Chain A
Amino acid sequence: MVLFAGRRVLQALPLLLGVTFVAFLMINAVPGGPLSAYENNPGITPQDIQRLQHTLGLDQPIWIRYLQWLRHFLTGDWGYSYAAHRPVLTMIGERIGNTLLLMGTVYVITLLIAIPIGLFTAVRQYSRADYGVTFLAFAGLSMPTFWLGLLLIIVFGLGLGIFPLGGMSTPGASFDLFDRLHHLVLPVATLSLVGVAHYTRYLRASTLEVLTQDYIRTARAKGLAEEVVLLRHAFRNAALPLVTVAALDLPELFAGALVTEQIFGWPGMGRLFWDSATRSDYPVLMGIVTVSATMIIAANLLADLVHAWLDPRVRPH
C-alpha cells in the first residue's frame, strides 16, 4: 500500500508541473505580454517598459523564466492584482473558504439524496419508478446551472419570499449559523441537482453490476435478510467507485460554483475569478486557475489512494 501510494504520488508530480507550466505559458500569452497593463499608462515610457522587462527578467529564455516563476509561486509570491494592488495569494485566501463551504455542502447533500435513490432504482430495475427517475435524471443533467439558479430565485426568493436572494449573510447582522444555512439553501440546491442526477445513475449501474456477483448469491443462500444483503454486502461494494466519481466531478463543480456564486452573489473564488475576468486582472486569474487545477489533481490522487485503501483488489501487486 505504501509502495502504491508512493508511486501514485510520483505520477501526480509531473502532472502538477505540467499544469503550472501551461498556466505560465498562458500568463505569457496575455495579449501584449505580461506588462500590457502598463502600456496605456501615460506615466510609463517605452524605456521604462524595457527597463522593467530587463529587471523582471522578461528578456531571458522561457524555461529560465518558468523556473523563476515556479520558485516564486512555491514560496507564496503569486504576484499582485492589477486592479486591487494586493497580493494574489491573500485575495484567493480570503475567498477560498467560502467556495469550499459551498462545494462541501453540495457534496454532502448530493450523496445523501443520490444514494437512496440510486439503490432503490437498482433494486426496482425497469419498474415505473425506475423509468421515472431515469427520465428526471436526464432532465437534471440537461439543466443549465444558471437557469436553474434563476428559476429558484424567482420561485423561492421573489415569489414565495422564503429564502434570501443572494449573499452569504444578512447585511449588518453578526454571524449566525442559522442565517448562514438559510443563505446556503438556494445555491446548494442549484449546484446539487446535476450531481444528484449523475450519482443516482452511477450508483444504479454499479449496484446492478454488484448484484450479479457470486458473493451476493452466497449471502442470499446463507438466508440473510434481503436488507442486510443489500446494505451490508451490495451497497458497500457498489459505493466504492463513488469516491472516484466524486473526484472526477470536481472540475464541473468548480465551474458550477463559479456560475452559482455569480448568480447568488456568494463571495467565493469563482466570483473573484469572474470579477477579475471582467477587469482583465490576469495575475488573479492565473492564480485561481492554478489553485483549482492543483486541487483537482490532489483530489484525484486522494480518491485513488482512498479507493485502494478501501478495496485491496485495485492495488497492483
Chain B
Amino acid sequence: MSAPTDVAAGLPAALPPPDAQEWEVGASDSLWRLTLRRFLAHRLAVISLLVLALIVLAVLAGPLLSPYDPNKPELDDIFLGPSPAHPFGTDSVGRDLLTRVLYGGRISLLVGTLAVTVAIGLGVLVGAVSGFLGGVVDVVLMRFVDVMLSFPRLFLLILASVFLRDTLPSVLIIILVLGTLSWMGVARLVRGSFLSLREREFIEAAKAAGTRNRHLVLRHLLPNAMAPIIVAATLGVATAIISESTLSFLGLGIQPPTPSWGNMLKDAETDMMDAPWVAVFPGLAIFLVVVAINFVGDGLRDALDPRHVQRRRE
C-alpha cells in the first residue's frame, strides 16, 4: 500500500503558491475570504479540485453517459481493445470497462468518504477526551494509540476483514474496518491542538466566565482545532481509497459482481496477458483521484495554516 499510514502526517509540503507574496491583507478581508484567496493561489490545488468535481459528476451521471450494463456479460464482446464503442475496452466476460470504472467509482468514492467520516469522528472523540481531561485518561488513551500505530495497518485491516467476512454486506464491512482502524493520527492531532489551546487566554477567559465543559469543548476548543482536522480528513480520503482498492484487489474488500476499482484490478491480474487495458484504466482512475485529493489537501493546508507556508518560505 503506498499512501502514508498516518493521515495527519500525510504528505510532505508541496509547491509554494506561486504568487504567495501578494497576500497583503486588507482590513476588510474576512477570515473566510482570506482563506479562499490563499487556496486559489495554489494553482495545482485548484486544477485538482476541478478534476475531482468532474470525476464525481461523471461517476454520478454514469448511467446517462454509458449505454451498457456494468454487470451483464456480453459473450460476443470479450477482450475488445479500446475503441470508440468501448473507450476503455472490455473485460473477460465482455463487460464495458468504462461503464464499470464509472460504477466502481461510486463505490470507491463512497467508501473513501464514509470511512474517513467514521475515522474522523472516532479520532476527534478520543483526541478531545484525551486532550481535555488529561491525566490518567490521557496517558491510557495515548499509549493505546501508540500500540495501535505499532502494527502495520494493512495487517490489521486484513485481519479485521477476515474476522467479519460474510457477517455484513462487503461495502459496510470495509467502511467499518477502515474507519475503526484509521482514527489514531487524528486523535493525536486533536489532542495536540487541545493541549496547546488549553493554555491560551481566551480559554482561560471562558473558564473564568463559568463556561460549562461541554460548551468549552464544542464552542471554543473544537472550532479552533478544525484546520488540521480538515486537512487530515481530505488526505485521509486519498489513503482510504488506496486501502479500499488494495483490500479489494487482494479479494477481501468489495465482493464481485459489484465493481470497485480495486476488485477490477484483481481480475486484471489474471487477464493482463490477453488484455493489458484491463489493468490500466481502473488503476489510472485510482491514481488520478488520489493525486487530485492530495493536491487539494496540500492547498487546504496552505490556505488554513498560513504559518506553515511562512515557515517553508524561509
Given the known interface contacts A259-B250, A263-B269, the answer about A144 and B290 at a Cβ–Cβ threshold of 8 Å is yes
Nearest CB of B to A102, in Å: 14
**Once the chains bind, are A280 and B155 in contact (CB under 8 Å)?**
no
Question: Is the beta-carbon distance between B143 and A258 smaller than 8 angstroms?
Answer: no
**Chain B proximity of A129: nearest CB distance (Å):** 13
Contacts of B194 in A (CB 8 A): none
Q: Complex Cα distance A139/B314, Å?
A: 26
**A139-150 CB contact bits vs B (8 Å, 1 = yes)?**
101111111101
Complex interface: stretch among A66-74, A234-242, A247-255: A247-255
A280 contact set on B, CB distance < 8 A? 162
- Prevailing SS type, chain B contact patch: helix
Checking A21, A144, A202 against B245 with a beta-carbon cut-off of 8 angstroms, the contacting residue is: A144
Least Cβ–Cβ distance between A63 and chain B, in angstroms: 16
**Least CB distance, B48 to chain A, in whole angstroms:** 10
Q: Within A203-233, which residues are at the interface with B (CB < 8 Å)?
A: 205, 208-209, 212
Q: A255-B155, A259-B246 are in contact. Are A142 and B291 (CB under 8 A)?
A: yes
A5 at the interface (CB under 8 A from B): no
CB distance from A130 to the nearest CB of B (A): 9
Residues of B with C-beta under 8 A to A193: 2
Whether the pair B163, A194 counts as a contact (CB closer than 8 A) is no
Q: How many residues of A contact B (CB 8 A)?
A: 61
Is there an interface contact between A251 and B272, defined as CB atoms closer than 8 Å?
no
Nearest CB to that of A256 among chain B residues? B1
The residue from B147, B154, B291 contacting A258, defined by CB atoms under 8 A apart: B154
Q: How far is the CB of B279 from chain A (nearest CB, A)?
A: 5
The digit string for B33-65, where 1 denotes a CB below 8 A from any CB of A, is 000000000001000000000000000000000
Which residues of the partner chain B approach A293 to less than 8 Å between Cβ atoms? 150-152
What is the minimal beta-carbon distance from A42 to any residue of chain B, in angstroms? 22
Nearest Cβ on chain A to B189's Cβ, whole angstroms: 16
State whether A256 touches B2 (Cβ < 8 A): yes
Task: Check B11–A255 contact: CB distance below 8 A.
Answer: no
A30 interface neighbour in B1, B163, B273, Cβ under 8 Å = B163
Chain A CB within 8 A of B3 CB: yes
* Distance of A201 Cα from B242 Cα, bound (Å): 21
For A209, list chain B residues within 8 Å (CB): 314
Contact A150 B265 (CB under 8 A): yes
- Assess whether A188 is interfacial by the CB under 8 Å rule: no
Task: Report the stretch among B12-20, B87-95, B221-229 that lies at the interface.
Answer: B12-20
* Residues A198 and B12 in contact, CB atoms below 8 Å apart: yes
- The verdict on A274 contacting B265 (CB below 8 Å), with A138-B11, A292-B152, A293-B151 known, is no
Q: Is A61 an interface residue (CB 8 A)?
A: no
> Quick check: is A113 within 8 A (CB to CB) of the other chain?
no
Classify the secondary structure of A's interface with B: helix
CB proximity to A under 8 Å, residues B161-207 = 162-163
Is the beta-carbon distance between A138 and B252 smaller than 8 angstroms?
no
Is B107 located at the chain interface by the 8 A CB criterion?
A: no
B124 adjacent to chain A (CB < 8 Å): no
**CB-CB nearest in chain A for B147:** A18
Q: Would A148 and B152 be within 8 Å (CB), given that A131-B15, A142-B287, A205-B12 are in contact?
A: no
B73 at the interface (CB under 8 A from A): no
- Residue-wise, chain B 136-153 has the 8 Å CB interface mask toward A (1 for contact) of 000000011011111111
Task: Specify which of B15, B152, B295 is in contact with A251 (CB 8 Å cutoff).
Answer: B152
With A18-B146, A22-B147, A251-B153 in contact, is A198–B4 under 8 Å at CB? Answer: yes
Report B-chain residues with C-beta under 8 Å of the C-beta of A285.
Answer: 159, 162
Other-chain residue from A30, A142, A154 in contact with B272 (beta carbon distance below 8 A)? A154
Closest to A165 in B: B273
Other-chain contact of A255, B148, B154, B286 (Cβ < 8 Å): B154
Selected from A26, A255, A262, A278, the residue in CB contact (under 8 A) with B152 is: A255
Q: Is B122 part of the contact surface with A, judged by Cβ < 8 Å?
A: no
Residues of B within 8 A of A126 (CB): 16
> In whole angstroms, how far apart are the Cα atoms of A304 and B219 in the complex?
39
For residue A158, CB closer than 8 A to chain B, the reply is: yes
Question: Is the beta-carbon distance between B159 and A277 smaller than 8 angstroms?
Answer: yes
Give the residue of A252, A262, A274 whose beta carbon is less than 8 angstroms from that of B5: A252
Please, which residue of chain B has its CB at the minimum distance from the CB of A254? Answer: B152
Partner of B294, one of A15, A141, A297: A141
Q: Is the CB of A297 within 8 A of B2?
A: no
Q: Complex: how many Å from CA A247 to CA B152?
A: 12
> How many angstroms between the C-alpha atoms of A277 and B146 in the bound complex?
25
Q: Is the CB of B155 within 8 A of A29?
A: no
List 24 interface pairs A-B (beta carbons < 8 Å), by A numbering: A21-B147, A22-B148, A31-B163, A135-B15, A138-B298, A142-B238, A144-B286, A144-B287, A146-B246, A146-B265, A147-B265, A147-B279, A150-B283, A151-B280, A151-B283, A154-B276, A154-B279, A251-B150, A256-B1, A259-B246, A277-B252, A278-B251, A285-B162, A293-B152
10 tightest CB-CB pairs across the interface, nearest first? Answer: A201-B12, A255-B154, A147-B283, A254-B152, A18-B147, A142-B290, A142-B291, A251-B152, A145-B2, A194-B2
